[in-house]
Amino acid sequence: MRRWLPGFVALSAIWGASFALIKVAVEAGVPPVWVALGRSLLGAVTLWIVLLLRGERAPRDRVLWGHSAVVAVLLNTVPFTLFSFGETRVSSVLAGVMNATTPLFTLLFAVLTVPEERRPGARRLCGLALGFVGVLTVLGVWRGLGSGATVGALACLSAACCYGAGFAYLRRFLSGRPESVTTLSALQIGCAAAELGLVAPFAAGAPHWPGAAAAAALLVLGGLGTGLAYLLNLGLIRAAGTAVASAVTYVTPLWSTALGAAFLAEPVGWNALAGGVLVIAAVALTRPRRVPAASAVPPPPKERQPVG
């Protein structure tokens, strides 16, 4: 445990802090699509530098590049933009709770698209139902669904839904690839940066200097949260196995809530806390009972956990 605990804490903190960093950027006036582009571009640069330092080369397989472009849309281009847009209307605390629903959406899409997942069992179906109740609790549906905050919350929930679809796509089309996780991550984030680079100028105009605080937030968000975090996750899987690595899902909302409340003075409503507890319990129910043991060989890309 002593070997992997520092990596576990660091990874959960980095991914939990991403929501507060997004909030700093959008509050400074950075358009959501430019926040998404900034973190993707910096993450891609970080991963490609690591790739070159390891002596690995970019594959020339057009099929792989095509799948990477699709995965980038589902795991980066669209959800990064949606989370940034959502946080123009809701707190980073609520965004972090919504991100915790990602494993539920992953299971849902896997059931629909992956043959071996089409019989999830009563326990996992109960988990999906409980997660739905948790989401409704976070949204505060008894207050109505017409406010701007509701729009922002639904944008964050849609981002988590994209993550679920993306991981199901990864499992079906890329889990058997021989390339390293570093290579696949670099291709994916690189494609996302290219896609957003084409869209951002038309969607939000030319960029502007947002100020030192927002620039620093984007630098950390991209270099750490969208770059080195992928490598930390891989190291955690190798050192402790997939069961421990997947447990980051439970801890990330705790970090996002604590950081949002402590540093951004964001309110933490009772329904966000109660809904978050229900969502985390639902994720626990949907986890497979058996997981592979720790191994020196990295698992297929489906084991990577998303960041908001």
Distance from C-alpha of 268 to C-alpha of 182, rounded to nearest angstrom: 37
Using one digit for the tens of pLDDT, what is the confidence trace for 224-245? Answer: 998 888 788 777 766 776 556 6
Say which residue, 252 or 65, is predicted with more confidence.
65
| Per-residue model confidence (pLDDT) at position 26 | 96
Mean pLDDT along residues 81-109: 91
Using one digit for the tens of pLDDT, what is the confidence trace for 52-94? Answer: 998 888 888 999 999 999 999 999 999 999 999 999 999 999 9
Is the Cβ–Cβ distance between 191 and 65 less than 8 Å? yes
Using one digit for the tens of pLDDT, what is the confidence trace for 201-231? Answer: 999 999 889 999 999 999 999 999 988 887 8
Say which residue, 279 or 294, is predicted with more confidence.
279
Q: How many CB atoms lie within 10 A of CB 182?
A: 18
Mean pLDDT along residues 7-15: 88
Residue 294 has pLDDT above 70, yes or no: no
| Per-residue model confidence (pLDDT) at position 298 | 40
Given pLDDT bands bounded at 50, 70 and 90, which one contains residue 283?
confident
| Per-residue model confidence (pLDDT) at position 57 | 86
| Per-residue model confidence (pLDDT) at position 82 | 97
**Phi and psi for 212 in degrees, rounded to 5?**
-65, -40
Is the Cβ–Cβ distance between 41 and 193 less than 8 Å? yes
| Per-residue model confidence (pLDDT) at position 245 | 67
One-letter amino acid for residue 136 of the chain:
L
| Per-residue model confidence (pLDDT) at position 80 | 96
Given pLDDT bands bounded at 50, 70 and 90, which one contains residue 1?
low
Say which residue, 214 or 180, is predicted with more confidence.
214
Nearest to 233 by CA among 15, 3, 2: 15
Using one digit for the tens of pLDDT, what is the confidence trace for 114-141? Answer: 666 667 778 878 888 888 888 888 877 6
Is the Cβ–Cβ distance between 43 and 226 less than 8 Å? yes
Task: Output the average pLDDT for the chain.
Answer: 84
Is the Cβ–Cβ distance between 275 and 130 less than 8 Å? no
Say which residue, 173 or 38, is predicted with more confidence.
38
Given pLDDT bands bounded at 50, 70 and 90, which one contains residue 246?
low
Place of tokens 């809701």: 90
- Please report, for the chain, the start and end positions of each structural domain, with discontinuous segments joined by +: 5-303
| Per-residue model confidence (pLDDT) at position 118 | 61
Distance from C-alpha of 52 to C-alpha of 44, rounded to nearest angstrom: 12
Say which residue, 122 or 190, is predicted with more confidence.
190
Mean pLDDT along residues 275-279: 88
